[in-house]
């Protein structure tokens, strides 16, 4: 799952956990900040943000283990399968954005604005690289823009730039474009399972209670 799916699943969890506004803001912020928080979750952070990072990691673990992700990865050419889960993350946001009203009532543009506002509340907990990214995210309205294929291409190019020995850009983009219809079928199987999971698991339960 990429940023849009993480944010959307955070709002699903907030609803199922009957969160207040502050808690929901932390879950949504953690949906993005979790990508930049490595190692142990900082116990000095506000509890809603800690819960958001734990939720981010749980989503990643669930999606990585889901049969639909394994099926989707195996659709790629052999030399791309090691990186296929990363490509599938980006394609998940593309499919979610284009199927948005099948899952959610708020307009995607409005949902994106609410997400940016939540992230701003906790943005100062990010390292400089992360702050630069979330500023870029809001400036280009990335969450809303994921419905366009060019946002997927930009994301793929960003992934490949970070690799020491990346596969050919043209090959990756071509494979993702060709497999998009099949990956949508996998996404439709995966996403409802992730949305339903928060009925039985709560990120706030894995955080130590605050000292009185």
Residue 75 CB neighbour total at 10 angstroms:
17
Q: Is 141 left (phi over 0), alpha (psi -120 to 50) or beta?
A: left
What pLDDT score does 163 carry? 87
Digitized pLDDT (tens) for each residue of the chain, 212 residues in all:
899 999 999 999 999 999 999 999 999 999 999 999 888 999 999 999 999 999 999 999 999 999 999 999 999 999 999 999 999 999 999 999 999 999 998 899 999 999 999 999 999 999 888 899 999 999 999 999 999 999 999 999 999 998 888 899 999 999 999 999 999 999 999 999 999 999 899 999 988 655 44
The number of C-alpha atoms within 13 Å of 63 and in the hemisphere containing its C-beta is 28
Task: For the full predicted model, state whether its pTM sits above 0.85.
Answer: yes
d(CA 141, CA 157): 18
Cα separation of 169 and 177, whole Å?
12
Q: What count of residues does the chain have?
A: 212
- The reported pLDDT for the residue numbered 212 is 40
* Spatial distance between the Cα atoms of 129 and 191, rounded to a whole number of angstroms: 30
* CA 35/CA 91 separation, integer angstroms: 17
CA-CA-CA-CA dihedral for 42, 44, 49, 52, to nearest 10: 40
Q: What distance in Å separates the CA atoms of residue 154 and residue 201, rounded to the nearest whole number? A: 34
Q: CB within 8 A of 194, min separation 6: which ones?
A: 1, 5, 9, 59, 62, 63, 66
- Are 91 and 152 in contact by the 8 Å Cβ rule? The answer is yes
Contact 84, 76 (CB under 8 A): yes
- Residue 144 has, within 13 A of its CA and on its CB side, a CA count of 15
């Amino acid at each position: 799952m990429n940023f849009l799916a993480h944010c959307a699943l955070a709002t699903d969890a907030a609803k199922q956990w009957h969160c207040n506004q502050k808690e929901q803001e932390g879950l949504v912020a953690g949906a993005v900040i979790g990508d930049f928080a490595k190692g142990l979750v900082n116990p000095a952070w506000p509890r809603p943000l800690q819960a958001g990072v734990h939720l981010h990691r749980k989503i990643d673990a669930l999606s990585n283990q889901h049969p639909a992700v394994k099926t989707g990865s195996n659709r790629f050419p052999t030399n791309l399968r090691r990186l296929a889960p990363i490509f599938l993350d980006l394609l998940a946001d593309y499919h979610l954005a284009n199927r948005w009203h099948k899952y959610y009532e708020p307009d995607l543009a409005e949902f994106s604005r609410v997400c940016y506002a939540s992230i701003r509340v906790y943005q100062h907990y990010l390292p400089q690289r992360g702050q630069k990214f979330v500023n870029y995210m809001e400036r280009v309205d990335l969450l809303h823009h994921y419905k366009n294929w060019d946002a997927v291409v930009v994301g793929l190019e960003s992934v490949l730039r970070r690799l020491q020995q990346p596969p050919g850009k043209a090959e990756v983009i071509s494979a993702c474009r060709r497999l998009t219809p099949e990956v949508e079928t996998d996404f439709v199987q995966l996403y409802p399972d992730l949305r339903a999971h928060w009925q039985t698991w709560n990120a706030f339960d894995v955080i130590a209670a605050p000292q009185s």
